[in-house]
Amino acid sequence: MTATLEPTTAHDAPTKTFESLNPSNGDVVGVYPIADKAAVDAAVARARAAASWWGALTFAERAEHLLTWRSVITRRIAQLAEVSHRETGKPHSDAQIEIILAIDHIAWAAKHAKKVLGPQKVGSGLLMANQAATVEYHALGVVGVIGPWNYPVFTPMGSIAYALAAGNTVVFKPSEYTPGVGQWLADTFSEVVHGRAVLQVVTGLGDTGNALCVADVDKLAFTGSGATGKKVMAACAQNLTPVIIEAGGKDSLIVDEDADLAKAAEAALWGGMSNAGQTCIGTERVYVHEKVFDSFMKEITEQAKDLRAGSDPGAKIGPITMPSQLKIIKSHLDDAVAKGARVVMGGPDAVGERFVQPTILTHVPEDSTEITEETFGPTLAINPVKSMDEAVELTNATQYGLAGAVFSKKNGMDIARRIRSGMTSVNSIIAFAAVPGLPFGGVGQSGFGRIHGPDGLREFTYAHAITRQKFKPLMMLTSFSRDAKTDGKIAQLITVLHGGKQTLK
Ligand code: NAD
């Protein structure tokens, strides 16, 4: 997969390159440089220099640049969708939807940064009544972003747009499967800021990502597998560089006895199979109340009957982008079937050389890897449960905690609140990802930190608390001249304030 480019001058070392391939047919769709440590350090140094310009702009000025970029992406959406389609294999229309969501996030981050991050007054309390208290959020400087391939625009944009809107510059390392998408984003942003190094791309494999982790960045936002996330944290620990980890999941969709079964089946099918199941917040498990299990199965098999994977325009499911994943999908299906799961559709033989045909299993043992580990393929494990208590218990019995869905007419919110995950949608699927004001992120092995919304903006800043003395204090606390009389008065005051028995109403 790697080759070497001719040196551009006699003194340059030859640059190693790698190929980006079309997963539908193996065609080479681009050749990109492998940025080594020196190249990554140089990009970070350029970003640091650009940060003094970008960070000094007002929120309104930065918003103007970001909104211009948003318009450029919108006008050239078909072009970007085509790059994504060729590199990931996903249908062109799916690539477009992902970009639409990303555009909405850029606009939200640009328009809300001032309100969320600008100076805010804080009540100073009775003890410090003579002080005016303010908190404001400052940009960190340079943010490194490492992205995956499955949603090569939407996923990294959750970090890139919010970090930029907060006043940071960004060095982005896209997945080696989607370097062209990353380059396209950086090139268009560069047009908007007339070539300034506000958003740069460094292409390459894992070593390039590692070089970014140990470079002079002020924060590292990683999205990818938990296994790589651990390496990222270890590398970032060297410089005490803070990290955000957005890792995998094993999300469930819960169907209560009063649910609209047609809608729940439609959501489960799309949640599990769209993007060939290669979605961090995709549905992998479904727990259905036993009273409606048979009706639900009838509904979902009927809806799934024409669904298939392929590269022709009629196929709604594309290839498995990363060839090594095929072995993992097959091993999960083999394990489930060996342990007693029933095959309703597809099965272990549905795993081909590039494509996996939609697969539905039922009665999947809870100790099989199809239930315990992220499969990342177009497969659904659907199990009956006796009650919603059992559905919640099984949903939470996982190392992950990313997202999920609940279908219930009466009890949706109650059930949702009991799920240990970062995001849940009631009576719909992944709706939270398209609400820019909501935070996005997980717990447990799904990672930590938040992108999107006010939390996502603050994630790329540090809080700065400032007090300004308005008038002389009645009692001077912070002085060696404080006497016993003052201590007595303070004791009296604190007793009045906090000594009584009070209950919160
Ligand atoms: P991956 O972990 O293989 O790679 C992610 C990125 O890390 C790539 O750019 C890769 O080059 C880089 N990398 C590899 N080794 C590295 C190292 N040692 N140091 C630094 N960087 C290194 O993940 P992937 O296969 O690209 O993505 C799929 C995974 O991402 C799935 O587990 C999926 O659930 C997860 N994901 C999570 C979210 C989320 O928001 N939580 C979103 C999308 C995908």
**pLDDT averaged per 10 residues, the chain (length 505):** 40 78 93 97 98 98 98 98 95 94 98 98 94 98 98 98 98 98 98 98 98 98 98 98 98 98 98 96 98 98 96 90 95 98 97 96 98 98 98 98 98 98 98 96 98 98 98 91 92 91 74
Q: Note the pLDDT of residue 474.
A: 85
Angle at 429 between CA 428 and CA 430, to 5 degrees: 125
Cα of 69 to ligand 1 centre, how many Å?
A: 26
Substitution candidate for ligand 1 out of 157, 175, 374 with most atoms within 8 A of CB: 175
317 alpha carbon, distance to own chain's centre: 22
- Which residue owns the Cα nearest ligand 1 atom 21? 209
- Which residue owns the Cα nearest ligand 1 atom 9? 175
Which atom of ligand 1 approaches the CA of 229 most closely? 2
Q: Note the pLDDT of residue 314.
A: 86
Enumerate the CATH 3.40.605.10 domain ranges in the chain, comma separated.
37-121+138-248+452-458
Angle between helices 77-88 and 92-117 (to 10 degrees): 120
Cα of 146 to ligand 1 centre, how many Å?
A: 8
Substitution candidate for ligand 1 out of 176, 183, 210, 225 with most atoms within 8 A of CB: 225
Residue 119's nearest CA partner among 134, 138, 100 is 134
- Which residue owns the Cα nearest ligand 1 atom 13? 206
Enumerate the CATH 3.40.309.10 domain ranges in the chain, comma separated.
252-420
Cα of 33 to ligand 1 centre, how many Å?
A: 19
Residues carrying an active site annotation? 246, 280
CA–CA dist 66, 223 (Å, integer): 22
Q: Note the pLDDT of residue 4.
A: 41
Two tokens, residue 463: 């809080």
CA–CA dist 245, 447 (Å, integer): 5
Q: How many residues does the chain have?
A: 505
Q: Note the pLDDT of residue 190.
A: 98
Cα of 187 to ligand 1 centre, how many Å?
A: 23
Two tokens, residue 10: 């006699």
Which atom of ligand 1 approaches the CA of 249 most closely? 34
Residue 451's nearest CA partner among 471, 437, 430 is 437
Cα of 220 to ligand 1 centre, how many Å?
A: 13
- The H or E element that residue 221 is part of is strand 219-223
Q: Note the pLDDT of residue 8.
A: 37
Print burial letters for 173-209: b (CB count within 10 Å at least 16), e (below 16).
Answer: bbbbbbbbbbbbbbebbbebbeebbbbbbbbbbeebb
Q: What is the number of helices (H) and of strands (E) in the chain?
A: 16, 19
* Ligand 1, CB cutoff 6 Å, lining residues: 146-151, 155, 173, 175-176, 205-206, 209-210, 213, 223-225, 228, 231-232, 246-249, 280, 322, 374, 402, 442, 447
Q: What is the CATH class of 37-121+138-248+452-458?
A: alpha beta
C-beta atoms surrounding 165 within 10 Å: 29
Cα of 209 to ligand 1 centre, how many Å?
A: 10
C-beta atoms surrounding 360 within 10 Å: 24
CA–CA dist 98, 96 (Å, integer): 5
Q: Note the pLDDT of residue 5.
A: 43
Residue with tokens 């494999």: 205
CATH fold label, 252-420: Aldehyde Dehydrogenase; Chain A, domain 2 (3.40.309)
Substitution candidate for ligand 1 out of 171, 280, 321, 402 with most atoms within 8 A of CB: 280
Question: Rounded to whole angstroms, what are the CA distances from 178 to 86, 183, 418, 425?
Answer: 9, 9, 37, 29
C-beta atoms surrounding 407 within 10 Å: 28
